[in-house]
Structures are given as C-alpha cells and as structure tokens.
Structure 1
Amino acid sequence: MVNLKAGVALVAALAALVACGGTEKAAETPAAGAPRVLKLWHYEGADSAMGKAWAEAVKQFQVTHPGVTVKFEEKAFEQIRQSAGMILNSDEAPDVMEYNKGNASAGLLSKQGLLTDLTPEVTKRGWDKLLSPSIQTTARYDERGVMGAGKWYGVPNYAEYVMVYYNKDAFKKAGVKVPTTFEEFTAALDTFAKAGTTPLAVGGAEYPAQQIFYQLALSKAQRPWVDAFQLYKGKVDFKGPEFRYAADTLADWVKKGYIGKDSAGIKAEDMGVSFIGGKYPILVSGSWWYGRFASEVKDFEWGSFLWPGNTMSAGSSGNIWVVPESAKNKDLAYDFIDITMKKDIQNLLGNSGGIPVAADTAAITDEKSKELIENFNTLSTSDGLAFYPDWPAPGYYDVLVSGVQNLINGTKTSDQVLDEIAAPYEENLADIGN
C-alpha cells in the first residue's frame, strides 16, 4: 500500500517528545558547541501499534543521546506521498522518515538519487540478519528502481497485510457465520444487502477501494502473474482473467448494493470511522487499522479473517525507514533506526496490535495480536504476500484511485477502466527499458 496507510495526523503529545544534551558523537557537531538535532518524520497515529512503538523508541534515543534534540514533525500519509520528491531535494529534508515502499515510491526516489544507500549500515548493524527474505524485498532496489535486488535504500520495521474486519454482533444478529470460502463471503454480503444494510465500508477516494479491486484480481491469480505485474518478470494482460474479473465484479458489487454508490468520494479515515461507529458490518483494509480498532471500538465485538478463498493477499513489509541523501545527521538516523529494531520495541509493537519483524514471539501475550500475527505468518510462510497494486509505476496510485472510482460511479465500462490503468503501466515499462 499500500501498502499504503490511512492519512492520520499525529497528536501533539508525540511531537512534544523532545530533549536536549550531548551524544557520544558530539565531536562531530556541525559547529562548535552547537546542539545536534534529529529531524524525524512519520505518519503513524499515536494510538496505533507503530505510533506507540516509535514513541518509546524516541524516549530510548533521548536517554542514549543526551544533548540531541529530537524534532518530530506531524505529517500525513498523503502529505508525504505527494511532496516527498520535492522536499527531499531541498534543505528541508528530515534525517529519517517513514516512506511508502515499492517501485513507484521508494524505488523512484532511489533511482533519482534522493535516498542514502544503507547497505554498509545494514551489514554493520546486522539488520539483514533480522529480516526474512520476503520482508527484504521492499528494502532493496536496483539501478532501475525495481524492488527485490540491489542496494538497501530502506529498513522495514514491521509487516502488514490486507484482511477482512467484521462486526461480530452484526454477523450474529443477521445469522451470518464467518465465511471460509469466497462463495460464503459473497453470500454473507448478499444477506446484509437484502436486509437493507450496505455490508462493505469502502473508501473510494483513497487506497481502500483499489485494495478490494486487487484482492478480487488475486482470487484468479498465481505467483507468476504477481511477479510479472510487480517485478516485471513477464507480460501482464490487463484484459486477462485477473483484472477482468476484478473490474467486472467490483462494478457488480455496487449494483447489488454490497458497496455504496457514494463510496467513490469517501476517504480512508471516514471509512474507518464509519466501521468504528457500527455503520457497516465489514471493512476490507490493512493490518495498520488493527491497533486503532482495538482502542476505539467500544460498542460491539469485532474480529478479522483472511480474504476467503485466496492463496495470496495484498501485503508485504510495512513502510520503511529511509534516510534522505541530503540528511544532515545520518549517524543519528542510523542510531534511531537501530533502536526501532530492538526486541523490546518490536515486542511492544506486537503487543499493541502491530506485526513485528524482529520480535521474540514468546513475548507476544495479547490474544488479538497473536491472531493478527498468526494470520500474517500463514500468508508469509506460504508465499502469499502479493505486495500492493499501486507499486509498479510512478503515479500509479492516482491512476488506480481514478479507475476504481469510475467503476463505482459507473461512469466507465470495465474495458475503459482496464485501458485506463494499462496505459501508464506500459509507459513505465518502456521508460525503464523492459
């Protein structure tokens, strides 16, 4: 994602985690006696698992680096996504920031020379030993900006995947059981729709709707198709059975009342709030919502399950720490990243509803968190992580948002939408020489 995150602004309390003093590297200060500053950006909500873990990492950094001020700036996912290239090419760049992974995001910035090659630090600090091969895919990019090989330009510090969240109380009231097959899933959607309830909370104005589109495509896909689409290891037929089924089915779900016709204009945040408020019984999105639902859903019992019938789902490492090439305090950035990879920080992340990449699994005691991590492991160990649909080409996120909105609104046919999303993909292949 997306994967791609909800664009949630961070609360001021985290921004206030600031301290002053000196570090063991104080001799490297840019001016005699001048205090050093670690400029940090990320866009995780303060109540999210990652937000809690990174807040603790900031505290530990302050203890181990007395004399360094941590300047944390509130950002939103969309804000960073839209302006990263311009900001990182200026003196305003942070020292370390969370950034979206994939060819169209971190890959593009690495190709443009805007990110620091972290390979020496990865080897020196042993981060490569902590991360499984599948998680490392989104950290490494070749000279074309294609993920999976080449130098390390980012460090994943958590994992994520797309799942189905559901309102247990609403399911019980409607007499719907948790589906284990795709046919049972659509039957559940139909039961709610016929009872006058729109079953799916959908945010068509941002990433969530395209994730449903991708899940539908993956229901007809095998690993070679994903590798062709994401890693350019073959030709993709946009009117083949995968994308054809996704487009036709999504449009059909709108007609059947499974997806609201007004959802094309709904943003991810509003989608999440509507589920929290009990308006919709089902929400399809990423594990990054897990911690927030755990803390904010008060009026009903909820749970989650993998998209029924699929052998693959959208998912990967989470977003990655990157160090801009123009960063002024790279050594401090490396130290901060190192702290976020420590077992106690990773364990905190896991017990707060996140998916750690370097935790002690025996230390994860929260039952809901165990379920979340077990479902991820089911995908990860069976080669079921299919990355996110907006990754393959620069600007592809907006292309997919527009295409899926057209399907929801009924303003374009499936053929027209598939042509619309195929064109920039093919143009990107030509640009990189594939």
Structure 2
Amino acid sequence: MNRRKATGALATALLTLATLGLTGCGADAGDGDGKTLRLWHYEGANSAMGIAWAEAIKQFEASHPGVKVTYEEKGFEQIRQNAGMILNSDQAPDILEYNKGNASAGLLSKQGLLTDLTAEATRRGWDKAVSPSVATTSKYDRNGVMGGDKWFGVPNYGEYVMVYYNQDLFAKYQLQVPTSLAEFESVLDTFARNKVTPLSVGGAEYPAQQILYELALSKADRSFVDGFQLYKHRVDLTGPEFSFGATRFADWVRRGYLDKNSAGIKAEDMGVAFEQGKYPILISGSWWYGRFADEIKNFRWGTFLFPGNTLHPGSGGNLWVVPTNAKNKQLAYDFIDVTLKPEIQNLLGNSGGVPLAADPAAITNPKAKELIENFNRLNGSDGLAFYPDWAAPGYYDVLVAGVQNLINGTKSPEQVLDEIAKPYQENLASIGK
C-alpha cells in the first residue's frame, strides 16, 4: 500500500513517452543487452528497504561483472496512477517495486502486463522462502484475485499497521499504553481535553482509510476478511463491520481526535508532523519505522498494535514484479535472489524493516526485534487482514474520497458506505462473483 514520498522522476518518463510515442505489448521483451538492469523503486534512501536494496544493488553488480544497475527513483502515487501505461510500452523497466493486491498487481496480471514467475519461484526456491500466508499477495488467478495459483511478484519483507506514539507526551499526561479500544479512546480524550490534537492523519492519501479499516476490523473476523478481500463469499459493506468503522471515524472527528484540515494532508506531511512532535500519535505502517528511528531526535517514541484488535492491516511487503515487456528478465530474477540473501535480509531487519528470511540471532537492534516479533506474531496467528483499497480496481480513490467526506462532514457515514459498496459490488459482478 505502502505510500511513499513522490518525486518528479516519473513525470519526466511520461513526458519522454509522450514525445517518443507509446509502443504496445507487441514490443520484443527479449532484446536486452544483458548488461543493464533497469530498476525502479520508491523507497526513501534512509528507509530500511532503501538501505537494504542499495546494498543489494552493490552485491548484484559485484556478482555480475560487466552488468550495471540503472536505478530510477519513482513515487508511489505516480507509479500507482500510471503503471498500466508505462508497462504497456517499450519503456518498461526490467524490474520494479509495485503494490500488491487485487486492485494493483492483480489488475496488471489480469491485463497481461506482468511476467508469470511461477516456474522461477519453484526453480529458485522463492516459494519456500515466502510463507504461504505472505505468498497470498504474490499469487493471482485469471481474474487478478490474490491467493490464486500463479506467482506474479515476490516480496522480501513484511509490513503491518501499528500505532506510533510520543512517549514523552504520554508521560507528561500520565498515560499508559492502552490495551483495548475503550482505553485507547480514553487516551485520545485526555489529549483532546488538554487542547492537544492526538492524531497526525493524512486524509489526502492512504493513512486515513487505514484508520477506518482498523476500526472496522475491531468488529470483524477472518471470515469477513476472506469474503471482502478474497471473494470467498459475499459480504455486506453496509453491515456491522464497516458501519462501526465509518460511524466511529466520524465520531473521532467530532471529538477532535484529528484536525479538520487533515482531509488535505498527504502522508509525507503527516509523518513529518509526528517527527516534529506536533502530534502525540500516528497510526500507520511499519514502513515508517526505520525512517523515524533515523530522524526523530528530540523525543522518545515507541509503538503498539491497535488496541483490542486481533486483525490488523498488513501483509507481505510490496512486490518485485517483472513487466511482460522487460528486456533483461534473467537479470531481474537474479536481483530478486540477491534481495532474499541472508545478509540483505539481516541488514533490512537491523535497519528497521521486517525481513522474511533473516537470521533472528543476527538482529541486534532491540526496537527492530520488537517490530519483527510483532509481525511474526500477527503472521503466525493469521492476523494480517491486507489493506482496504485492495478489494477492487480503483478502490483506493473511492476510499480516499470516503474518508475525506467523513473528515469534512460533507456526507454521513451511511452515505459514505453506500458509495464504498457500489463499486465493490460492480467489480464482483464484472468477474462473475
């Protein structure tokens, strides 16, 4: 879902495509020179993934004499919005980081834009390195629904949503880490009564919808998630789970738990505001962890899982995918191998990430150990509930608009739920579910 700082690099690529003209899927995907690997990803240089993948690039080049990795930084939002057009051209990279789920990697696989990696996953042992639970978002069926039979991407880290908190501000108001939703709301009430807006929220992008989903998951079970995300059976999006989530979210706005202007705040600005100590709490993903560890210097901070929930937004991390039009596919497969090497996985863990194949004894950072242990606990207890925007193509924008309406008070929870339910049901009908 991740969800990262955008750059102008993809805009330049799009301008190039517009100037040169797009070439469709008929382009020869095997005419690479075997000496250049074009790689795109959107991780910050000081994030855990950015650090680990920079080292992976060095090791890849060292093990492939004469081969050069051409790394191009992209923005999450820009790739999300333009991947279909880019990958359907002869300008596609050889390998890129891409969001997982039905609405993202699943949609591209259905459109024939991603290489089927099933044979490589078996031959190279990726299917053994990635647990079945995490592999759910790597594999898709012919309709692009995750949990299918073919591999179209490979993760090398895990991720989940948690609560980051300013320990100094908690201590100032004599607050303890809550263990239930009621206790959590008591904490939020204490800050609000003291004229401190408790939550740093980015309503213009993914973060606010993840808060809505956490609230919905407080009333959900695995059967609901399987129906909602994997289409195993019909679910009612105006039923008790999302009804509670939308109503409670609107109530949080009314109580002053988040700023009214947060509807226009982007994820990056949300994170920076927390780093600056302007808000005591931020609810978001593990992808912030390494960056916060590197950048927060003026207060003590910690994390806890959303209180009272057994299910949490989370999954395997974003995927390495190989476009159908990639010109150096064998090099791309070799790079995936490198990212799963123990030394890269250990570096990822010690840098604040959640590795899938690290040696636990090699993780020496106590905070990193806690992060990884929480993920392993969620993964082991079937507690990963994916992300709400995966449920249907285009759903990300539907949910962003929905939570913005709740923040602005322009629509009631019932109206928002009706708008969320409509495209979801239309998608099910389009694939015969």
TM over 0.5: yes
- State how 1:266-285 maps to structure 2 within 5 Å: 266-285=265-284
Work out whether residues 97 and 320 of structure 2, in 8 Å CA contact, stay in contact via their aligned partners in 1: yes
Percent identity between the aligned chains? Answer: 70
1:10 shift after superposition: 10
Work out whether residues 8 and 45 of structure 1, in 8 Å CA contact, stay in contact via their aligned partners in 2: no
Give the aligned partner of residue 181 of structure 2: 182
- State how 1:114-129 maps to structure 2 within 5 Å: 114-129=113-128
Q: Give, in whole Å, the separation in 2 of the partners of 1:77 and 1:59.
A: 24
Give the aligned partner of residue 14 of structure 1: none
Q: Give, in whole Å, the separation in 2 of the partners of 1:68 and 1:351.
A: 28
4, 7, 25: which one aligns with 2:5: 7
Work out whether residues 115 and 153 of structure 1, in 8 Å CA contact, stay in contact via their aligned partners in 2: yes
Give the aligned partner of residue 95 of structure 2: 96
**What secondary structure sits across from 1:84 in the alignment?**
helix
Q: Give, in whole Å, the separation in 1 of the partners of 2:429 and 2:143.
A: 12
| Distance of aligned partners of 1:243 and 1:217 in 2 relative to their CA distance in 1, 3 Å threshold | same
Q: Give, in whole Å, the separation in 2 of the partners of 1:145 and 1:302.
A: 40
Q: Give, in whole Å, the separation in 2 of the partners of 1:83 and 1:235.
A: 31
- State how 1:197-208 maps to structure 2 within 5 Å: 197-208=196-207
1:362 shift after superposition: 1.1
**What secondary structure sits across from 1:221 in the alignment?**
coil
- State how 1:401-420 maps to structure 2 within 5 Å: 401-420=400-419
Q: Give, in whole Å, the separation in 1 of the partners of 2:318 and 2:195.
A: 38
Q: Give, in whole Å, the separation in 2 of the partners of 1:123 and 1:250.
A: 44
**Structure 1 unaligned blocks of 5 or more:** 12-28
Work out whether residues 10 and 45 of structure 1, in 8 Å CA contact, stay in contact via their aligned partners in 2: no
Q: Give, in whole Å, the separation in 2 of the partners of 1:263 and 1:383.
A: 32
| Distance of aligned partners of 1:35 and 1:323 in 2 relative to their CA distance in 1, 3 Å threshold | closer
CA deviation profile, 1:168-199 (whole Å, cap 9, x unmatched): 00000011111111111000000000000000
- State how 1:210-249 maps to structure 2 within 5 Å: 210-249=209-248
Q: Give, in whole Å, the separation in 2 of the partners of 1:351 and 1:133.
A: 24
- State how 1:412-431 maps to structure 2 within 5 Å: 412-431=411-430
Aligned AA (1:116): T
Give the aligned partner of residue 295 of structure 1: 294
Give the aligned partner of residue 61 of structure 1: 60
CA deviation profile, 1:383-424 (whole Å, cap 9, x unmatched): 100000000110000000000000000000111100111111
Give the aligned partner of residue 333 of structure 1: 332
Q: Give, in whole Å, the separation in 2 of the partners of 1:8 and 1:298.
A: 24
**What secondary structure sits across from 1:356 in the alignment?**
coil
Normalising by structure 2, we get a TM-score of 0.94
Give the aligned partner of residue 172 of structure 1: 171
| Distance of aligned partners of 1:163 and 1:5 in 2 relative to their CA distance in 1, 3 Å threshold | same
Aligned AA (2:5): G
**What secondary structure sits across from 1:390 in the alignment?**
helix
Work out whether residues 163 and 285 of structure 1, in 8 Å CA contact, stay in contact via their aligned partners in 2: yes
**What secondary structure sits across from 1:171 in the alignment?**
helix
Work out whether residues 154 and 322 of structure 1, in 8 Å CA contact, stay in contact via their aligned partners in 2: yes
- State how 1:256-405 maps to structure 2 within 5 Å: 256-405=255-404
**What secondary structure sits across from 1:107 in the alignment?**
helix
Q: Give, in whole Å, the separation in 2 of the partners of 1:426 and 1:148.
A: 20
Work out whether residues 8 and 44 of structure 1, in 8 Å CA contact, stay in contact via their aligned partners in 2: no
Q: Give, in whole Å, the separation in 2 of the partners of 1:174 and 1:125.
A: 53
Aligned AA (1:420): E
**What secondary structure sits across from 2:274 in the alignment?**
helix
CA deviation profile, 1:258-301 (whole Å, cap 9, x unmatched): 01111000000000000000000000000000000000001000
**What secondary structure sits across from 1:138 in the alignment?**
coil
1:7 shift after superposition: 2.8
Work out whether residues 34 and 328 of structure 2, in 8 Å CA contact, stay in contact via their aligned partners in 1: no
Normalising by structure 1, we get a TM-score of 0.94
CA deviation profile, 1:144-174 (whole Å, cap 9, x unmatched): 1000121100001100000000000000001
Aligned AA (2:188): L
1:36 shift after superposition: 2.1
1:35 shift after superposition: 7.0
Q: Give, in whole Å, the separation in 2 of the partners of 1:173 and 1:30.
A: 63
Aligned AA (1:369): A
**Structure 2 unaligned blocks of 5 or more:** 10-29
- State how 1:121-140 maps to structure 2 within 5 Å: 121-140=120-139
Q: Give, in whole Å, the separation in 2 of the partners of 1:403 and 1:258.
A: 18
Aligned AA (1:186): E
Work out whether residues 238 and 421 of structure 2, in 8 Å CA contact, stay in contact via their aligned partners in 1: no
1:68 shift after superposition: 1.4
**What secondary structure sits across from 2:84 in the alignment?**
helix
Give the aligned partner of residue 25 of structure 1: none
Give the aligned partner of residue 25 of structure 2: none
1:8 shift after superposition: 4.7
CA deviation profile, 1:351-377 (whole Å, cap 9, x unmatched): 000000011111111000001011111
**What secondary structure sits across from 2:391 in the alignment?**
coil
Q: Give, in whole Å, the separation in 2 of the partners of 1:158 and 1:362.
A: 17
1:340 shift after superposition: 0.2
Q: Give, in whole Å, the separation in 2 of the partners of 1:10 and 1:273.
A: 20
Q: Give, in whole Å, the separation in 2 of the partners of 1:149 and 1:30.
A: 30
Q: Give, in whole Å, the separation in 1 of the partners of 2:118 and 2:250.
A: 45
Aligned AA (1:298): K
Work out whether residues 6 and 77 of structure 2, in 8 Å CA contact, stay in contact via their aligned partners in 1: no
Give the alignment's Cα RMSD to 1 decimal: 1.3
CA deviation profile, 1:10-68 (whole Å, cap 9, x unmatched): 99xxxxxxxxxxxxxxxxx958xx67210000000000000000000000011111211
Q: Give, in whole Å, the separation in 2 of the partners of 1:30 and 1:89.
A: 16
1:6 shift after superposition: 2.2
**What secondary structure sits across from 1:53 in the alignment?**
helix
Work out whether residues 135 and 147 of structure 2, in 8 Å CA contact, stay in contact via their aligned partners in 1: yes
Work out whether residues 10 and 74 of structure 1, in 8 Å CA contact, stay in contact via their aligned partners in 2: no
Q: Give, in whole Å, the separation in 2 of the partners of 1:83 and 1:30.
A: 24
